[in-house]
Every structure is written in C-alpha cells, then in structure tokens.
Amino acid sequence: MISLPDTGFLADASPRLKQMLAAQATEIGLERGAALFKQGDPGDALYAVLAGSMEISILSLDGRKLSLDLVGPGAVFGEIALFDPGPRTATVTAVEPSRVLRVLSADVMAELHRHPELAIDMVRLAGQRMRWMGGQLNEQVFLPVPTRLARKLLHLAPHHDAGGATVRLSQAELAEYVGATREAISKTLATWKRLGVIDVGRGTLAIRDPNALRALADPDQI
C-alpha cells in the first residue's frame, strides 16, 4: 500500500480519495527537468505529488513561458480532464527529483459512479483551482511587479525549505513566475537586498526579514 503525504490538498481529502490513490494509482519517478505532460497533450489522468516539486507553466502564442505555480507533496492536479476531456492546458515539469501518482481518468470516473461522495473532493479541488486562477489574474492586472514578486516569494518559499526561508530559483526563473522581465526582477531584488529584506546568491534567494516581505506583499502598502 502506498503511503500518502498528509500535506497539501491530501491533508483534507476524504478517506475514499486517499484509498483510491493508494490502491489504484501508478507511481511515476521523474528526474529534474523531466516533463510529466506538456501543454496540448491529451488529458487522461489525475495526479498527486508524493515527493519533490512540480512546476506548472504555460506558453503564450509567441512562445513565451509563464510559470504559474510550484506544487509539492500532497498536491493534486489534472482534474480538468475529468470535467472537460481535451488537451492539457499547461505543462508540468519536475524541478527536482520527484515522485507522483497517476490515476487514469476512466478509473476515477468509474470510482465516482461507485462512490458518488468522491465528487465532493473533485468539486472542492476544481473550486480551489478556479479561485487560485482568479487570484492570479487579479494580481497580473492590478498589482505592480514588486508586490507580485513579494507574494510569489512567500508562496514559493515553503516548497523549498522547511523554514520557509530559501527559494532556489534564478532571477530569470522568478521573472517567469511573476510575469515580468528579468531586469525588473533584478532591480527590485537589489533594492530589497539593500534594505536587508533578502539576500541573493547564485540561483538562490534567502528571505532575511519575512515580516518586511509580508508588508511588501500587502497591496494596501502600495
């Protein structure tokens, strides 16, 4: 029997969903940089992260990459294929050696027919995704780059360090997550470094003053 993490979405998932994942899912190992699936691929499965970190990203029409999120153990994704079978709307890539569980959509739907209470988990997952996407859209439209960057760092830090203090991403990668130019990110980080909020290393960023960063993430402080 597969041991599931008690974090992320799975922390509050129903016993039935956990039982289905543990009993029916196939475990997949991914090396750093390996794509689990790509934008446009057929959507035919639901996934749960056992270990590691997975990046969710999209490509614009002009080929520019925008990183949407970084998910860790306990995250569940791929549910859109259950409600609207079709091509994947994003690419999911391992940013470090990772393990995920895969349950084919057909098997999930069969379980839903046998155990309708599973639909509560699926609706809650879809609702969380919609709320998160709405928040991302609002941030991109209404918030300036420094506020978006502060929010993204606070969101990403827990996936990289138990103390929530270190983000292991380059400035170019941060720019992809924030939807800004590398130059804008570099300028903002340089200012925060002078203020003692963060410290920047090669491919890493250490949060020295979390309270100051939370204040910078507050749109009321603009």
Q: Are 21 and 103 in contact (CB under 8 A)?
A: yes
Residue 159 banded pLDDT, cuts 50, 70, 90: low
User: 91 is written with which tokens?
Assistant: 């690419």
Identify the pLDDT of residue 220.
Answer: 66
The two three-digit tokens of residue 164, written as one number: 């929530």
User: Which contacts of 163-169 are long-range, i.e. CB under 8 A and separated by 24 or more positions?
Assistant: 164/207, 164/210, 165/206, 165/207, 165/210, 166/204, 166/205, 166/206, 166/207, 167/204, 167/205, 167/207, 168/203, 168/204, 169/203, 169/204, 169/205
| Region label for 180, one of left (φ > 0), alpha (ψ between -120 and 50) or beta (otherwise) | beta
Q: Region 77-87: what's the mean pLDDT?
A: 86
The string of pLDDT tens digits covering residues 5-21 is 999 999 999 999 999 99
Q: What is the pTM of this model?
A: 0.81
How confident is the model over 92-145, as pLDDT tens digits?
Answer: 999 999 999 999 999 999 999 999 999 999 999 989 988 988 888 788 878 999
Given a cut of 80, is residue 164 above it in pLDDT? no
The phi, psi pair for 109, rounded to 5°, reads -65, -35
SS3 75: coil
